[in-house]
Amino acid sequence: MTTQVNTLPRAVQRRLADRPRLTDSLWVGGLTLVDMATVLDRTPRSAGWGVALWGAQTLPLLWRRARPRTVLVAMTALYVLFQALGPIPEKVPGPFLLMLGVYAVARHAPASASVPLTLFGLATTAVTDVLTGHWEPPRPGSLEPINVTTFVFFFALAWLLGYGRRRIDADAERLRDLNRRLAAEQELNARQAVLTERARIARDLHDVVAHHVSAIALQARAAEDVLTSRPPDPGEAAHGVGLIARTADTALTEMRRLLGLLSFGEQGLAPEPSLDHLDRLVDVATSAGCRVTCVFETREGNALPAGLQVSAYRIVQEALTNAVKHAGPVGVRIAVRGDATRLVIEVENDPPAPGHRPVPGAGRGLVGMRERVGAFDGELLAGPRADGGWRLRAVLSARGPVSAQGDG
């Protein structure tokens, strides 16, 4: 029984939160009925249209989020109309309902618009009270109803509360945006760390293979010399062949261990990255707040080599990582164009927003991109633009990577 009592209000709150229009209708409707009730007991009894006109002042609040300025102007106009027609002979309440409109405009509109509108509402209501005879001279320190001093106090209080809530909402949104950017940067950094570790493992794998293959070659030549010597020594030859077998076994063991490390953190073997997967990079940069546009054009029938596509993918990835780190949530434009002879990659980002603090880096990103471009006999141009942004242009030869000399 206790569980039902505690759960039901939360369910109702969630349902109302999912339907803000319904919540506003219930709230404004209830407020309108209460306002109409405040003038029903006045004597002599007022006409029904006068009560309805007084209650109508709160109806514009239904649109306070979307059109806060129009709402305040409409509420002020309805108050002026109510006072001018004088449907209730007895002294009527002051423009205290307008405080809700002042709060709404201060919360949902910038201060440059809310301050003039608040002063406009205050001046209009005060002049209306003077012209309709509902005027009482201001008395400092007095908060009695139907007094200009009271109007100034409550209008200022409503504006301060609305403006304060607007600042709180803006700070919360900024923190959420920073959190999204941080999560995206962490993902980019994690991927970059994996790539760096894999590059280290690849170098280790190269050393392992080169070392053991060289040892096997030397031992095989030694065994050959023993077998071809006069007279041949079968025992020495068998010892040499055994060394070859043990060296090969050691090489295979170390290669399996390193290849196992290459799958670190992966769930199964992921497909090799290619230019067909650029949307993944765009999604990550977009989640960091960047406005990314991507153009990918290759001539029909030109299937780019897999190695070239991997290098091009990594270059775009590093360029987007640098844009997120050093410029923040800015506009980024990616263009990848290729034909049978070369592939051109261009990545540009707008200048960072004023006050943006870039994330410090080690400077290895451009070095890695130059190595990838150099492996395909290409060129890399990277540097700041005149407007403070950054531009990168990489050209890779589609004929294949440059052959390594003296590798062993």
Q: Residue 8: what pLDDT? A: 45
Q: Residue 246: what pLDDT? A: 72
**Enclosing H/E stretch for 8:** helix 2-18
Q: Does the pTM exceed 0.85?
A: no
Q: Residue 263: what pLDDT? A: 57
Q: Residue 362: what pLDDT? A: 57
In angstroms, the CA 319 to CA 334 distance is 10
What 3-state DSSP class applies to 337?
Answer: strand
What 3-state DSSP class applies to 166?
Answer: helix
Phi and psi angles of residue 400, each rounded to the nearest 5 degrees, phi first:
125, 160
Q: How far apart are the first and last CA of the chain?
A: 78
Length of the chain, in residues: 408
Token code pair at residue 103: 């709060």
Give the CB-side neighbour count of residue 174, counting CA atoms within 13 A. Answer: 6
Q: Residue 7: what pLDDT? A: 44
> CATH classification of 273-408, choosing from 1.10.10.10, 3.30.565.10, 2.60.40.10, 3.30.2130.30?
3.30.565.10
CB 310 within 8 A of CB 343: no
In angstroms, the CA 191 to CA 201 distance is 15
Give per-10-residue mean pLDDT for the chain (408 aa): 45 54 70 69 64 78 86 87 70 72 90 90 83 66 61 87 91 88 84 74 59 62 73 75 73 67 50 77 77 84 74 86 82 89 92 76 72 86 91 84 42
Q: Residue 5: what pLDDT? A: 40
- What's 381's DSSP letter? E
Domain positions in the chain are 2-135, 273-408
Largest CA distance in the chain: 138
Q: Is residue 388 left, alpha or beta, with left meaning phi > 0 and alpha meaning psi from -120 to 50?
A: left
